[in-house]
Chain A
């Protein structure tokens, strides 16, 4: 649930990002088609070499078309990189200036120098250093234009004023547009980041609550396993009494099972059985544990139900126990043949797990078997 929320936030942020880049591409395309093209066609007579102006317009289009997919899809890279393309843009800028008659260098027919800034915006868009890059580009553009004006002998006051108006106007529009779109993008990322942090905090809290609940549950189980015998001992029960000793052994075996059953092992049932066998071995019981077959994956409740009675038989064994586990795809049978005294066998649910006992008269040993049969 939490993970889904975080993903959604990231998705929203990505959509905002894509939205702002799409807006930038649209502005460039609209400007180039809606302004540059008409002024070039209408001012066709103002050019010395009109075909050079047209070629510059086409080169602008080509660079724009090449740069846009790289911007809209971050997986694609800009061919040649931004600066070589930016240099080409400044070159086409110069070409349009050269194409104009000297007297028309400040007319609308010289469309390029006011328009190339838009193209530069999308070239430098993904770079962290985009403000510096744009600043350098704008300065380069201004130098190219001033050089063109000088060549056309148009450095008079009126021309310089026109130059400054167009320059400041275009830079204000272009830099402002870029800053706005980038800011929009940044805000979306911040929003996504903060909701991710929030989601992570929520997940951590949920995990902590889960751990706490698990601890309480395990405490209750441990209490159930050992409280009765501990109470007996506290009340002065004699540890030499065999009944008390058996109760202690059974309590210890249950605690052992609780510890072993949640260990992360490929075969938790066998792992639990081995842990219990190891424990009774340590108190001097000769244990022979044999297993055949591969145990199918079983839920914890079933593992617990099928191991409960054999576990108690093992815990009550005095000197010897033969423990066997037979597993097939849909059956798991655990048996214990031991010299334990007969005891009240824990009741299995009888549906998935059935427990049988053979009295000690058969061969002098107590036989107990728990069998889980799958669906």
Chain B
């Protein structure tokens, strides 16, 4: 995938019922100086988008609410097909975010933060790397506090909290007295810990495999996370 990514732009399919949002997405993609992303399909239903060029897109950007209907129930089948589903929504409460992640979406972007994080998220998703938006970070902090055996370390939790509060990674690093790379590692590791909870999906397996490859976690960690997931530790 990496080699391919170097050769060609990441292909993106957008499922969204508001034409103005699709237009906005196109303009963000067009503004990227390196032209790293290409929108190959867009439409207001999953069927319409997946029938054409969207069928083989690297990333599927899915608006959670299409014509008033929540798409949560469709995520598992998409994930099972190996699609990298990035969900974006105005529903940014932690329950929705965690449900979406458990259903197999690779990440979640809140519509109020799309501009800052959209391209980064799509690129990370295409490379099977974790990307945590600030909104998602808040949900992970609260979800971890609810478990009987929290998965996050104190430092990971602090990094997520500051990231949720709106600091950029450099500010989080200064605040915590660590390097920016370490901040990134803390935040991504937190996401990986939650990738092993919920429904199994090829995309999650790839995410975990990639995390091991990158040295973010070790194979031993995964066994531990999965045992936590098995006992229903995420809630």
Contacts and interface: CB of A to CB of B under 8 A. Distances in A.
Are these two chains actual partners, yes or no?
Answer: yes
Interface in A291-329: 292-293, 322, 324, 326-329
A293 B142 contact: yes
Interface residues of A, number: 20
Given A324-B166, A326-B164, A290 B171 contact: no
B171 A363 contact: yes
A156 interface: no
A241 interface: no
Contacts of A335: 165-166
B190 to A, nearest CB: 14
A358 B165 CA distance: 12
A335 B160 CA distance: 13
A220 B168 CA distance: 42
B145 interface: yes
B175 interface: yes
A331 interface: yes
B145 A329 contact: yes
B24 to A, nearest CB: 18
Given A292-B141, A329-B145, A362-B174, A337 B167 contact: yes
A328 B139 contact: no
Interface of A is mostly: strand
B112 A367 contact: no
B138 A324 contact: yes
A277 to B, nearest CB: 14
Contacts of B139: 292
A363 B164 contact: no
Nearest to B169: A363
Nearest to A327: B142
Contact of A331 (B134, B135, B145, B165): B145
B47 interface: no
A206 interface: no
Choose among B112, B170, B171, B175 the residue with the greatest number of A CB atoms under 10 Å from its CB: B171
B113 to A, nearest CB: 8
Interface residues of B, number: 22
B132 to A, nearest CB: 13
Choose among A290, A337, A369 the residue with the greatest number of B CB atoms under 10 Å from its CB: A290
A333 interface: yes
Given A322-B166, A337-B167, A358 B175 contact: yes
A322 B165 contact: yes
Interface string B154-169: 0000000100111110
A365 B165 CA distance: 12
A337 B175 CA distance: 13
B165 A288 contact: no
A331 B144 CA distance: 13
Given A326-B161, A362-B174, A292 B142 contact: yes
A331 B164 CA distance: 16
Interface of A: 288, 290, 292-293, 322, 324, 326-329, 331, 333, 335, 337, 358, 362-363, 365, 367, 369
Given A290-B164, A322-B165, A324-B164, 5 more contacts: A290-B135, A331-B145, A358-B167, A358-B175, A363-B170
30 contacts: A288-B112, A292-B138, A292-B139, A292-B141, A292-B142, A293-B94, A293-B142, A324-B164, A326-B138, A326-B141, A328-B142, A329-B145, A329-B146, A335-B165, A335-B166, A337-B166, A337-B167, A358-B171, A358-B174, A358-B175, A362-B167, A362-B170, A362-B171, A362-B175, A363-B168, A363-B170, A365-B166, A367-B165, A367-B167, A367-B171
In the A-B complex, the 8 residue pairs with the smallest Cβ-Cβ separation, listed nearest first, are A322-B166, A328-B145, A292-B138, A293-B142, A363-B171, A337-B166, A335-B165, A362-B171
